[in-house]
Amino acid sequence: MDNILVHSDEHVGMRVPMKYRDEKAVVRPANLVELIAEVDKIFSEDTVNVDYVHALMESYKSNPADWRAYAKFDPHRYTRNLVSEGNGKYNMMLLCWNEGQGSSIHDHANSHCFMKVLQGSLIETQYYWPAKKGQPMKRKQTTELMLDQCAYIDDTIGLHRVENPSHVDSAITLHLYIPPYSECHCFDENTGKPRTAKVTFWSKYGQRTREAPTESADPDSSK
């Protein structure tokens, strides 16, 4: 059964354990292994506090020694590199962005997305859902995420595109998706037209996969 995710001000009467109700009580994990272990504990519960998870992700201080083995780059596209499958409850992964690489505008297939910067910086541009077919999409807001900052989005907030703004430095982000998903929708910024895109991994647990996404189908393709 999928977890129920709520915000701090929504968990009255819900089954969020007391120790996970106050995001100010988060204990900073010493490393990535501790972060994953704590996320596992949180998602062993039926109901999860989004704000607590957000605070936990942001509290982790990036250390290349923790994640270097998972950081795999591709010169033509940004890469998804699986770190943990979370017993089927979530996927945690490193996304590696070479200079200037970015995603398409996409949704999250009713999943919850946390995105933390481990190296460099990233630009997140949020969009409203298309109101009418054939019309340009409207931007909602643009945010530059710096080292160790964490962002959150779900489909009720809107759509987004993510890109590395630097032309000289690469960027690495840590993503947490609840629940995992294998397909999403990408959108044409000029027309709002959606297309289905398969979500694939460049590597799993530091090892290259045999998955071979196509530029036309995968949301990893540069904008």
Residue whose structure tokens are 């398969």 = 198
pLDDT confidence of residue 223: 39
**Considering the chain, what is the average pLDDT of its residues?**
91
Q: What are residue 108's phi and psi, to 5 degrees?
A: -130, 25
Give the global pTM: 0.91
CA R_g for the chain: 17
For helices 50-59 and 32-42, the axis angle rounded to 10 degrees is 170
The pLDDT > 70 percentage for the chain reads 91
pLDDT band (50, 70, 90) for residue 214:
very low
Name the architecture of domain 72-205.
Sandwich (2.60)
- Note the pLDDT tens digit of each residue in 165-197: 999 999 999 999 999 999 999 999 999 999 999
Which one, of 125, 126, 116, 111, lies nearest residue 93 by Cα? 116
Q: Which two tokens stand for residue 186?
A: 């990408």
Give the list of residues 6+ apart from residue 55 with CB closer than 8 angstroms, or none: 23, 24, 26
